[in-house]
Amino acid sequence: MKLTVQIRLIPDADQAAQLEAVVERFKEAANWIAGIAFEHRTANQYDLRRLVYHEIRARLGLSS
């Protein structure tokens, strides 16, 4: 059985700013990874993870 729940976030001003910062870092990471994928001509998630995982965490401070 599959259960789907829809929720709504109601952050205060500080939480909204933090959430927006994380989203921006995520978009920056996605764009950088897309460039690496194009450069290496791969869309395989395991190959990409091997290529970018540690560097992207160090660059942008994103958790796994």
Domain count along the chain: 1
**CA-angle at 48, arms to 42 and 53, nearest 5°:** 165
**44 SS3 class:** coil
Q: Find the range with the poorest average confidence among 3-7, 16-20, 56-60.
A: 56-60
In this predicted structure, what is the pLDDT of residue 61?
81
Residue 22 lies in a domain: no
Q: Give the range of the structural domain holding residue 60, as residue numbers without chain letter.
A: 29-64
Instruction: Assign 1 a pLDDT band (cuts: 50, 70, 90).
Output: confident
Which tokens is 57 given? 């965490």
Residue 8 lies in a domain: no
Residue 36 lies in a domain: yes
Prediction pTM value? 0.74
Give the residue from 28, 31, 33 showing the smallest Cα distance to 47: 33
Residue 60 lies in a domain: yes
Residue 33 lies in a domain: yes
Instruction: Assign 21 a pLDDT band (cuts: 50, 70, 90).
Output: very high
Residue 19 lies in a domain: no
